[in-house]
Structure 1
Amino acid sequence: MRDFLLDDADRAFRSEVREFLQRELAPRAADIEDRQDWSAVKHVVRALGEAGYLRLMFPDLYRGTLTSPGLTHATILSEEAAYLNYAFETTIGTALSCAYPLHRHASERLRDAYLAPILDGTAIGAICVTEANVGSDSAGMETRIDFDARTNEWVINGFKRYISNASVADVYIVYGIATGTDPSQAGMTAVAVPATAAGIRFPRNYTFMGRRGCIVGEVEFSDCRVPADHLLGEQGGGFRIMRGMFNFERAILGGSGLGVARSAFDIATAHAQRRQSFGQALGCKQLIWEKIAQMSWRIDAAELLTYRATKMYDAGADGKALMKEAAMAKLVATETANFCANETVQILGGDGITKEFGRAEQLYRDARALTIVGGTSEIAKYLIAGRDLPDIRINL
């Protein structure tokens, strides 16, 4: 039985959001993939905002029919969107990852200015963490966030790359090391930077093998200034904010992985039952049967781990209490997406590597990013083992 950890209200919500995405996203998925049509992405984002689906994570702002909205429902949305088009899901997943710290750590004025438009679907958010010399080792950031007491402003200098929604976002959550601190977790600070701020520049966007239609690029800050109240939380509190954001993002990525895996699995099972080979259905072959079984149990395992993490979050777990479970969800679901996409291409043979015969090759390209973004599979394993070996510090 799929969705074992979901209740009837969750299942009803899945049916509702699936119908919505079939109406709004499915007809535009090909344009997003083939033409990288940003207007199509914006249309669906706006529709999601108008329907209230971008507020699922924030019960105090939610106005829909669910009695207890939360991360479980945001992850269901992520899963169903990724099933149709993972590039699109990346856009909204990133925007919600930006909304998360704004909701929890921004002043009321900032929430009105930046959070409300994201949740309404009229604005896009982005997160600036990765740098040229900093990926998983976020404590080694070179970006500096200095406070100018004379003008009562934060001054940002640094260079970020692999930033989803770069150049098209309306607000950026920027992490860096604060004035007078060493490059370490203790000095990490977060500020909100609007796209209109002087000193922000977007040198280039990247071309990826997959996720076509998702805009990813570089963001440069050169004496970029924002008012003092654009600080999130407190100076030096950025690592705690980032940890909570990553728990949220990794659970959402569990949903992304599930969506891609399920999409590949459905293509594979349909082909295995339809295609005739050596006088019988392809699925009758023992090696194909084994591939289908492997895909099926991996999807079930990924689903159980993903919705365990979301249910824990919705019950109040966060921070260190959720780090291992969120990492497990992300690790298993994204590795499962890669496994299922690869096996689907193999089952389809030549049809699996051509655009003319379906989406298998797109899923194969899209899935590859999942074990890298939001923390690599290797970092997820480190976080898992770190809980199980509390008396030692693992040497990466």
Structure 2
Amino acid sequence: MEDYLLDDEARRFRADVRDFLQRELVPRAEAIEDRQDWAAVQAVVRALGQAHYLTLMFPDLYAGALSAPGLVHATILSEEAAAVNYAFETTIATATSCAYPLHRYAQPAVRARYLDGIVGGREVGAICVTEPEVGSDSAGMATRIEFDAHRNEWVINGFKRYISNASVADTYIVYGISNPAVPSRKGMSAVVVPKETPGIHFPRCYTFMGRRGCVVGEVVFEDCRVPADHLLGQRDEGFRIMLAMFNFERIILGGSGLGQARAAFRIAADHAQRRESFGQKLGCKQLIWDRIAEMSWRIDAAELLTYRAARLYDAGRLSPKALMKPASMAKLVSTETAIFCADAAVQILGGDGLTKEYGRAEQLYRDARALTIVGGTSEMVKYLIACSDLPSLKPNL
């Protein structure tokens, strides 16, 4: 079923991306995984920018060979990169998620100042949403973004955590409450904060069981001031901007899950055809072929949902609210499939699946586990799907 929803141009693009990653990322993947080598990550990001891969979502900036670049192609890039190294893919997906609201909502001078470096691969960006008491319930955030009319500046105070690219990013998109007198969804704003701004601090980075090489940490804002033109969109429009960004991010995460799932499947299928047990190839055992078959159909389902959502996005005919369901379904099925396939691969390999010495199965197992949490938990996206299917009700979380 691979590439069933893609046209010939997109299939050629996939082949080009694979060749590029084979040259640029594969030789550095071990350094990223084992030594968490940020310089290795930066080198591949720069190469991506020079090859125009980071402008796929922005046709007015794109200078590559595609006739109509879009989210379908960005999702292919995400899928292929995640199959090689999910930590690296997280870095570029986060940077692209930062570039998206900059491109769409920033004022021209601000857009030119901060966007060019990100899409050119010279810089990376970060998105600041999650807080100690706020995960999926993003509207309940405590960060405050207040306007100082006397100095014509926005003042940011708050504490964000689990921020990908924290401390290494050059540009931060920060969401916070700008009007506490109204419901959070009607009083949230988003601002652009460059790393060198006084008052921004990075208390610590986290150590995760997977995604080694992806920098994730905390960001604190203490009377952090940016000029008035660093507001994205209009005041109190931040929640709507965030929803549109989440649709984009969840479809990209569908690609991430698909890449991880396919990598795990290839490892399991190769082992099942090579390893002998009790006088037969392992794949001849019913329990094994049953698991291989389930991995296969889950991957096909994930592919169809992910690229359907990407094509719907590129078509531009759905509102962010209408796109929420297909984006959530893509994210849900692909990321759950990644966990299923990573777990099955380790089980099929047995002891070999638990060791670094016998391949990447254990790395895929550790990396995949984050996918059903980041970008909206499986529980949260199920809620979003149900809300679309039960329009006359408001299900309780």
For 1:292-371, what aligned pairs fall within 5 Å after superposition?
292-316=292-316, 317-371=318-372
Amino acid at match of 1:353: L
Q: More deviation in 313-322 or 368-377?
A: 313-322
Are 1:145 and 2:148 matched, yes or no?
Answer: no
Deviation of 1:318 after TM superposition, in Å, equals 4.0
d(CA) in 2 for partners of 1:318, 1:48: 30
d(CA) in 2 for partners of 1:28, 1:125: 21
Match of 1:169 in 2: 169
Partner SS state of residue 370, structure 2: helix
Amino acid at match of 2:311: K
The answer as to whether partners of 2:179 and 2:236 remain within 8 angstroms in 1 is no
Match of 1:64 in 2: 64
The answer as to whether partners of 1:202 and 1:220 remain within 8 angstroms in 2 is yes
d(CA) in 1 for partners of 2:110, 2:272: 53
Are 1:84 and 2:84 matched, yes or no?
Answer: yes
TM-score, normalised to structure 2, is 0.99
Match of 2:105 in 1: 105
Q: More deviation in 384-393 or 183-192?
A: 183-192
d(CA) in 2 for partners of 1:149, 1:110: 19
Amino acid at match of 2:283: G
Deviation of 1:181 after TM superposition, in Å, equals 3.2
Amino acid at match of 1:230: H
TM-score, normalised to structure 1, is 0.99
Partner SS state of residue 218, structure 2: strand
Match of 1:186 in 2: 186
Write the deviation string for residues 189-243 of structure 1: whole angstroms up to 9, x where unpaired: 0000000000000000000000000000000000000000000001110011000
Partner SS state of residue 211, structure 1: coil
The answer as to whether partners of 1:206 and 1:216 remain within 8 angstroms in 2 is yes
d(CA) in 1 for partners of 2:146, 2:194: 17
Amino acid at match of 1:276: E
d(CA) in 2 for partners of 1:318, 1:82: 28
d(CA) in 2 for partners of 1:224, 1:113: 19
Structure 1 residues without counterparts, runs of 5 or longer: none
Deviation of 1:289 after TM superposition, in Å, equals 0.3
Deviation of 1:3 after TM superposition, in Å, equals 1.4
Q: Cα–Cα, structure 1 residues 180 and 350, in superposed 2: closer, same or farther, change >3 Å?
A: closer
Q: More deviation in 29-38 or 180-189?
A: 180-189
d(CA) in 2 for partners of 1:249, 1:278: 46
d(CA) in 1 for partners of 2:292, 2:329: 23
Deviation of 1:374 after TM superposition, in Å, equals 0.2
Write the deviation string for residues 349-368 of structure 1: whole angstroms up to 9, x where unpaired: 00001111110000000000
Match of 2:230 in 1: 230
Are 1:55 and 2:55 matched, yes or no?
Answer: yes
Q: More deviation in 338-347 or 316-325?
A: 316-325
d(CA) in 2 for partners of 1:249, 1:146: 27
Are 1:375 and 2:369 matched, yes or no?
Answer: no
The answer as to whether partners of 2:154 and 2:227 remain within 8 angstroms in 1 is yes
The answer as to whether partners of 1:142 and 1:183 remain within 8 angstroms in 2 is no
Deviation of 1:182 after TM superposition, in Å, equals 3.9
Partner SS state of residue 60, structure 1: coil
Amino acid at match of 2:254: G
Amino acid at match of 1:146: E
d(CA) in 2 for partners of 1:364, 1:354: 11
Are 1:94 and 2:86 matched, yes or no?
Answer: no
Match of 1:206 in 2: 206
Match of 1:257 in 2: 257
Deviation of 1:177 after TM superposition, in Å, equals 0.2
The answer as to whether partners of 2:205 and 2:217 remain within 8 angstroms in 1 is yes
Match of 2:3 in 1: 3
d(CA) in 1 for partners of 2:219, 2:183: 20
d(CA) in 2 for partners of 1:348, 1:101: 43
Write the deviation string for residues 41-93 of structure 1: whole angstroms up to 9, x where unpaired: 00000000000000000011111110010000000000000000000000000
The answer as to whether partners of 1:127 and 1:164 remain within 8 angstroms in 2 is yes
Deviation of 1:321 after TM superposition, in Å, equals 1.6
Match of 1:272 in 2: 272
Query: Which contiguous aligned blocks of 4+ residues in structure 1 show a shift greater than 2 angstroms?
Result: 179-183
Structure 2 residues without counterparts, runs of 5 or longer: none
d(CA) in 1 for partners of 2:80, 2:319: 24
Amino acid at match of 2:133: N
The answer as to whether partners of 1:143 and 1:175 remain within 8 angstroms in 2 is yes
Are 1:248 and 2:248 matched, yes or no?
Answer: yes
The answer as to whether partners of 2:179 and 2:188 remain within 8 angstroms in 1 is no
Write the deviation string for residues 334-389 of structure 1: whole angstroms up to 9, x where unpaired: 00000000000000000001111110000000000000000000011001010000
Amino acid at match of 1:108: P
d(CA) in 2 for partners of 1:120, 1:318: 29
Q: Percent same amino acid at aligned positions?
A: 73
Match of 1:393 in 2: 394
CA RMSD of aligned residues (A): 0.7
d(CA) in 1 for partners of 2:294, 2:109: 51
Aligned residues: 396
d(CA) in 2 for partners of 1:177, 1:274: 57
